[in-house]
Each structure stands twice: as C-alpha cells, then as structure tokens.
Structure 1
C-alpha cells in the first residue's frame, strides 16, 4: 500500500517522509475498538476543518466586503492571505515534528487554528481579519501532514491503505462542502460563523487527540533549520502576493509602493534561489528541479490549480454581484463538482498503474477546456442548470487531475526524496491558488472597466436607443440622475459579464496549451515499488 500512501500524502500537502512513518510508529501498538474509531474521526475532522477553510469563504466575500466597507476585490485578501501563509508554513512541518514531536505540534496546530478562527469572526475591519487569517493559515500548515502521520501509527501496516482511503475522503468532501456551507451560513446566520464553526470542532479534535495520543509521541531530535531561506521565502512570496492584491487599487507601477514590492519580490526571489542552492540544510530542495518530470509536473500542477482555484473565486463573485444569486445559491452551483469527483477518484486511483498517466492528464485538461468554454458563453439570463452543468462536468476533470499529476511529479523518485518533492510541489500548488485568485479578480476588474467605458460611450443625449429608456424610467417616477444610475448598473452588469466570459475563454485556451507540456514528460517506468509510489 506504499504507493497509495505516498500519492494521497502528496495530494493532501503532506511533508513527513513516508519511509519514516513506520520507523517512528514501530514501537507503538495499533489502536483498537472504540479508540481507533474515535482517533480516526478526530484526525479526519481536523483535516476536514483545515481544508474546509480554503473554500468556505469563497461565496462569502461579497458579504464580508460589504460588512467591512471594502470592495469585493479587496475582500479576496481573506482567501489569498490564508493560502500564502499556509503554503509558507508547510516546509516547517518536518523541522517542528522532529524538534518537538508530532503529537505536540499537531495539538498546537489545532489549538492555534481554533483560536485564530474565533478571532477571525471577531475582526472589526478587513486589516484585522487578514492578520488573523494569516495566523490561521500559518498555524494550519502542519495539521494535514501530521494528521496522516498519527493516523498511520494507529493502524496495523496491512490496513494502512484503508486508513488512507478513509482519511483522503475528507480532502475531497471538504472543498465541495465549503461553498455550500459557507453560503448557507452567510445567508441564514452571518459571515463570522463560517469561522466560529471551527471552534467546537477544534476543541473536540484537540481533546480526543490528547486523550488517545499523549503517550504516543514520536522521537525528537534537534535539527538545524534554514532560517535565512525561510525568511527570504516569506519576503518574496509575501511581497509578490501583496503586489498582486494591491496593484489595481494603487494604479500598479504608477505607485511607489507597488514598485517597492516588485523590487522586494524580485530581489528576495533571486537571493532565495542563491541561498537555497548552496545551503547545507535548505528549507526547499531546489535540486529537484534538475529532474525533468518533477519540473514539468510541478509547473502543470501550479498553472492548472491556479486557474482552477481562481475560477472557484470568480464564478460565485459574478453570480452574486451581477446575476442576483444568494451566497447559498452560488455555493450550490459550485458544490456540483463533487458528484463525479467523489465517484471517479477511487476508480482512477485504483487503475492508474495500468494506464499511461499522460493520457489521463490530457483527458483532464481537455475536459477543463470544455468546461471553461461552456462558461465563456454565460449570460445573466441563463438558468440555474445552465450555470451548474459545467460544474458537474468539471467533477470528471477534477478526479482525473490531481492523482495523475502527482504521479508524474513523484514517479521514479527514491523514498528519501519523496517528502521534499511532496512539500515543494504542494507549496507551488497552494501558492499558485492564491496568486491565481489575485490575478483572476484583477484582470476581471480591469477588463470590466474597459468594457464599461466602451458601452457607456453609446449613452448620450439624443441616442435612439438610450433616450427612450431614460424617458421611460423618468415616466415611472425616476429622476434623470436616478435613471442614469439604473442604466449605469445595467452597463456594469454587461461589462462584468463580458469580462468574466473572456476570463473563462482564456482559461480554456490555456488548458489546451498545457497539453503540450504533458507530452514532454517521460513515460513512467513500471519497475518496482519506488516507481509505483509515484507515477504510473
């Protein structure tokens, strides 16, 4: 079952070395009976809570932005700040685990995540909310990989495959549940409760974990950590993310702040590369990029996930702001992705070794292209099912997306390098999701402004189309200014719809272009257990 474990560990963003888990857990007796059931539920719930928070805010952005008095584009910081902090914290998991022990780090991660979740709900302003989201994302970094480490130590080796299968279902269900639950809570209670719901779950998970695992601590030893490399990583990723988020608001390179952030990101990135190449204990093993399959696979994973996640933010924003959907309705549209994803993922995982992963990945990208092409034809007058059918189909491409790409990335790697490869590829994926959110919303707003200007140029006194409309509105009791306001709203609606269609059309073409990279990958070798752990 080592191949299943490795792939699922990578899919969840795990960083502990798979080969180390049995060694650390060898002196522990597997749990049995009620203790095993409770342990599995607690660890899986912790994972569910963590993954849920990557998507639960997607449909709540308009409500959060409106309540805090900011624009929706500024509100997307709530999503990107969590993702960036989470990605940066992932490489620290191995160091923290070996320094303090897996149980202590996992408990600390749950408790801090729970605390910052509560504080997110209490935030009186966007700035304070972003601060707590950063701390929430950073504290969540070790939670997913360590939940898997502790789960594997709870089961006998021969049942590890079943344990991973049960655990991995949470990583599939949570992103689907997030938009639906977030929408319902926002519409029926209030947006702070999308964070408050983590509090009872976190307390229960921490209490059960402490009761069952306090005597099952993993071995500890002091290891050096690359603080300089970590600091440079924080500088260049943070500066780049802030630049992308604030660029539109500050007029891009017309602003000294944006110029300074761009310089900091570039210089920090260059220094980071130089330092990590020569440091004896790098926080990120850049030598992995010497491997063509790893490099190509990571590039495809990052680009595809950036577009995928960017669309998950853009679609509900457009549906709520310009189609009139509630947060619940928008969440339902997104939730349909789970129909085929849940059904097909176990099947693809089971039979992947007998099929060339390049064909599976190509099929996934083609279906993604089809989905985005269908979305590029959206209008504000479409029905619920016309919005939802592309999301249903997207479940097929999602199921055929992660596992084969992770197979390409990890295929053929020796066991001692899988942990580093998993951590680096998942850092790239999570960071690309945050960058994709900022890029999608920024380009969407810019294109909408351009289309608004073009459409508004046709509104002038005596225009045979607009004049009768204005006169009709005035006859209904609107003042001239109010009539122009109504027309401006209609122009906004059409401008943002044209822009969102353009973004989806661009995504379709980019997914087709990615297929060229798929066939630059060398076919996986079916030679042994190491290869099986990676990419067939």
Structure 2
C-alpha cells in the first residue's frame, strides 16, 4: 500500500517527466526498430524467416513475463531502485544484442533485454501520472500517450536509416548512451513511495514466477518452430506443448490458492475486465501482426530500401497524434465504447481487405501510405474503447492490476500474432506454389512460348542453348515463388480482417457503466 503523495513541481517535475518519457520511448522503440532489420538479419546471421522472427517475439515474451510483476517488484525493492535496475538491464543487454554472432544468441539477449524493458513502460506511466496533481492527470496521460505514439513510430525510420547507412548492431548500441543518462537522472530525481505492504522473501511466489515463465516460453517456442519442425511429429514440439498446457493450468491454480500471488487473478472476476483482456489479446494480434508484415513485404518483395520501409511506418504511425484526440473526444461526448470498438473493428476489417487488394509487385509508397492511415483510425478506436470497457466497473485500487492484465495480454497477443503469421505465410506459400506449378504443364502453349522467349533472350546475351534453357527455367521458378509469396501475404490480411469482423457481435453484447477514460499502455 502506497502511503505518501508523489506530486512534483517546477523543474523537478519537468526532469522526471522527460526521464520517464525517454524510458518509455526507448522501450517502445525497441519493439519496432528491428522490424525493418529482419531482412538484413536473415542475410547476415544466416537465419530463416521463422528464426529471425524470434528477435521480435523474444523481446515481447520478456515483456509479458515481467509486466504483471512490475507493481509487486516496485513494492519490494522501491520504485526508484527497480526502475533504475530495469534501465541498467535494458542497456546492458542492448550492448550484448549488438555483439551477438548467431540468431539464437541474439534471441536470448533480446529476451533478457525485454525483461528490463517490460518495467520501463509500465513504471514510466505511473511516474508521470503521480508527478502531476489530480486535476492535471489528463495532461499527464496526454504526455505519456505522446511517448507511446512516438516510440513505435520512430523505431522503423531510425532502424531503416541505420540499416541502409551503417550495420545492424547499431540499432541496439544507440540505447547505451541514452540508457546511461536515464539511470543517472533516475537515481538523482525519481522518488520511491513509502509502501507498508512489503513481503518477506519466504512469502514470495517464486513457483508462480517459474510457472509463468515456463508456460509462456514453451508455448512461444511451439508457435515459432512448429511449422519448421512438422508440429507434433516432432518430439520436442510435443513435449513443449504439454509443458505449456500444464504450466499454464498450474500457474492459474497456484495464483488462485496462494495467499500472496505474484499475479492477482481474482480481479478477473469482473466481467468487463475479463472481456477487455481478451480483446486486448486480439488487438495485439492484429496490430503487431499487421505492423510486422509491412516492412517485411516492402523490403523482401518490393526491394524497398530499409529507410523507405521505416519512413512509411513512421509517418502512418505518427498520424495517431491527430487521430487519438478525435477518438478520445467521441468517447467523452457519450458515444458508447462498445459502438466505438465495433466501428473500429469494422474499419480495421475494411483496411485489411483493402491491404490485400493493393499488394502487387509494383505497389507504390503513396498507395501504402493512404491505406495505412485508414488503419490507424480503426486501431485507435479499438484501443481506447478496450480501456473504457475494461476499467469502467473496477474499483480504484483494482485499476493498476487491470492495466497490467490488459497490457500483458496485448503484448502476448502481438508475440503470438507474429509467430502464427510467419507460420501461416510459410504454409500458404507452399500451398500456392503447388497450385501454381500444377498449372505450368510442359505441353501448355503459353508456358512453352514464355520459356522460349526467356531462352532466346538469354541466348541473345551469348549463352549456349542448354545454359539459356536452364536460366529460363530458373527465372520461371523465381516468378512462381514471388507470386506464391504475394498470394500468401494477401491471405494473411484477409484472415486477420475476418478475425476482427467475427468479434463485432461479441463486442456489441458487452455492457459498461460510466466509462473511465484512460490511455493505458502498459
């Protein structure tokens, strides 16, 4: 239980707010900065698409494990000490990420970096909010929301510029000087509340921590490697699936019966919060997953420079700075959050459908830009509505725990979304390739004519008939691969879109009391 006020004034409040914003931006920037580096990492580290996606999801899993424990850890060690230690962990493993020589090593360091980063966002919001008096909490939330928008938006642009002009380790090294500054300022200016409910070490829910980490880690491995290892025909995948299932069941049981749980599941008895956590998972799945696709597609299929791919994501993400106040105002004027969320999901479905139709080998920057701007209208409406519904019937003391659950499920949904999307692309790619090849019969006049044209073209460059024929066949094969991959990306958008469309009837059935508008972003 917190016993003293944390309101700050003057230059001290400004410095504390800037430090908290810097840490929030660093944490969120690292969730997206590697997206535009995936193509480069594949080539430099000799990894497959499935393997390189671990660089993204490992960080998210680290976040997921530590976020629900943040409040408890702050009480145990003091907010300032815990916050400073988290920055040190984040900064140290940023350096080690840049030193990695293999994809598994990099994924491990990203996981540990995520352990440190998970506390930065959740604690930054608390620090900013409590530094302002109650009548200015709206201003505090707006400041924090700017960090939430700017961090993910700048990540792809900064990452793209680094990839095009330098080398991939620098995307991690840039955290080091900023992290050092943040640690020094935190120790100097950030205060810790006085808590009266610290827990003795012998009462710590160590088993709950181990079960949560084991279950989430095992499930993530299954989702990432299942496609590559032929799912349950592989002994490791089967064993880890059982471990994930039993681990999660045991974790839930442990948290419900233990007198001092690391995660208080009892708050989920509130129906609106339970619904909010489910929709947070779905939101994370669609939001993170669709963001993951864009830079990957534009670089691997359209051969865009990483800077261009990053600029596209950055500009469209920053549009949220204009969209967010509009959607927030609609909620404040009395529009029911259920209707707002349902409308947002419909807009997102339409956007996914539009996205699938614009994908061609020649799609330009401008087309992507306008379609992605439309996407953020839907996502902002969904995110704010989830917060309004989830917290509308919670008591004040339950809001922090509720925010941790929605944040954890959103991050978990994003990690699972990326893992499932990479598997889905691989499977659909095989399906479409098989289908396309079945139509390329050797006695087909059009196929024969196309092959002859290619052969003659290569012979015109001085090649022998045999070499020209082989090169013609290779070029046809490359064309088939490119087309099957394009169709696979189209399928991903359609599936994500229909997932959101199917949720609309359930959203409209929700009930909410007077809304508590919050810019939750844990």
Q: Report the TM-score, using the length of structure 1 for normalisation.
A: 0.90
Whether the 8 Å contact between 1:292 and 1:521 is mirrored in structure 2 is no
Cα deviation 1:310-358 (Å, max 9, x = unaligned)? 1111222122112222222222332343354111212332442322111
In the other structure, the counterpart of 2:194 is: 219
Q: Please give the residue correspondences for 1:174-193 in structure 2 after superposition, counting only pairs within 5 Å.
A: 174-193=151-170
Range moving further from structure 2, 328-337 or 112-121: 328-337
1:364 aligns with 2:340: no
Query: Could you say if the C-alpha distance between residues 297 and 103 of structure 1 is closer, same or farther in structure 2, counting changes exceeding 3 Å?
Result: same
Query: Could you say if the C-alpha distance between residues 240 and 389 of structure 1 is closer, same or farther in structure 2, counting changes exceeding 3 Å?
Result: same
Cα deviation 1:20-78 (Å, max 9, x = unaligned)? 66x43x2x672423x33332222211110001111111121111111100112210000
Q: Please give the residue correspondences for 1:133-532 in structure 2 after superposition, counting only pairs within 5 Å.
A: 133-213=110-190, 216-220=191-195, 222-223=198-199, 224-353=203-332, 354-377=334-357, 378-477=359-458, 479=467, 480-522=469-511, 524-526=512-514, 532=516
In 2, Cα distance between the equivalents of 1:314 and 1:165? 29
Whether the 8 Å contact between 2:69 and 2:263 is mirrored in structure 1 is no
In the other structure, the counterpart of 1:8 is: none
What is the number of residues matched between the two proteins?
505
Query: Could you say if the C-alpha distance between residues 94 and 339 of structure 1 is closer, same or farther in structure 2, counting changes exceeding 3 Å?
Result: closer
Quote the offset at 1:411 in angstroms. 1.0
1:76 aligns with 2:56: no
In 2, Cα distance between the equivalents of 1:364 and 1:254? 40
Quote the offset at 1:533 in angstroms. 5.7
Cα deviation 1:449-473 (Å, max 9, x = unaligned)? 1111121233343432222332333
Where 2:477 maps in the other structure, the secondary structure is helix
Query: Could you say if the C-alpha distance between residues 476 and 195 of structure 1 is closer, same or farther in structure 2, counting changes exceeding 3 Å?
Result: same
Query: Could you say if the C-alpha distance between residues 347 and 458 of structure 1 is closer, same or farther in structure 2, counting changes exceeding 3 Å?
Result: closer
Where 2:361 maps in the other structure, the secondary structure is coil
Where 1:281 maps in the other structure, the secondary structure is coil
Q: Report the TM-score, using the length of structure 2 for normalisation.
A: 0.92
**Structure 1 unaligned spans of 5+:** 1-19
In the other structure, the counterpart of 1:43 is: 20
Quote the offset at 1:167 in angstroms. 2.2
In 1, Cα distance between the equivalents of 2:279 and 2:134? 33
In 2, Cα distance between the equivalents of 1:218 and 1:463? 77
Cα deviation 1:131-185 (Å, max 9, x = unaligned)? 1001000111221222233334443444333233212211011111112221121
Query: Could you say if the C-alpha distance between residues 272 and 327 of structure 1 is closer, same or farther in structure 2, counting changes exceeding 3 Å?
Result: same
Whether the 8 Å contact between 2:387 and 2:517 is mirrored in structure 1 is no
In 2, Cα distance between the equivalents of 1:151 and 1:315? 32
In the other structure, the counterpart of 2:8 is: 30
Task: Let me know the Cα RMSD of the aligned residues.
Answer: 1.9
**Structure 2 unaligned spans of 5+:** none
User: Which of structure 1's runs of 4+ aligned residues deviate more than 6 A?
Assistant: none
In 2, Cα distance between the equivalents of 1:36 and 1:381? 50
In 1, Cα distance between the equivalents of 2:62 and 2:389? 26
In 1, Cα distance between the equivalents of 2:343 and 2:280? 15
Range moving further from structure 2, 67-76 or 382-391: 382-391
In 1, Cα distance between the equivalents of 2:311 and 2:189? 37
Whether the 8 Å contact between 1:95 and 1:225 is mirrored in structure 2 is no
Whether the 8 Å contact between 1:339 and 1:395 is mirrored in structure 2 is no
Whether the 8 Å contact between 1:339 and 1:392 is mirrored in structure 2 is no
In the other structure, the counterpart of 2:65 is: 88
Query: Could you say if the C-alpha distance between residues 132 and 489 of structure 1 is closer, same or farther in structure 2, counting changes exceeding 3 Å?
Result: same
Quote the offset at 1:238 in angstroms. 0.8
Whether the 8 Å contact between 1:300 and 1:517 is mirrored in structure 2 is no
Cα deviation 1:263-319 (Å, max 9, x = unaligned)? 111111221222222121222222333322222222122112202211111222122
Cα deviation 1:444-500 (Å, max 9, x = unaligned)? 110011111121233343432222332333323362332222211111110011111
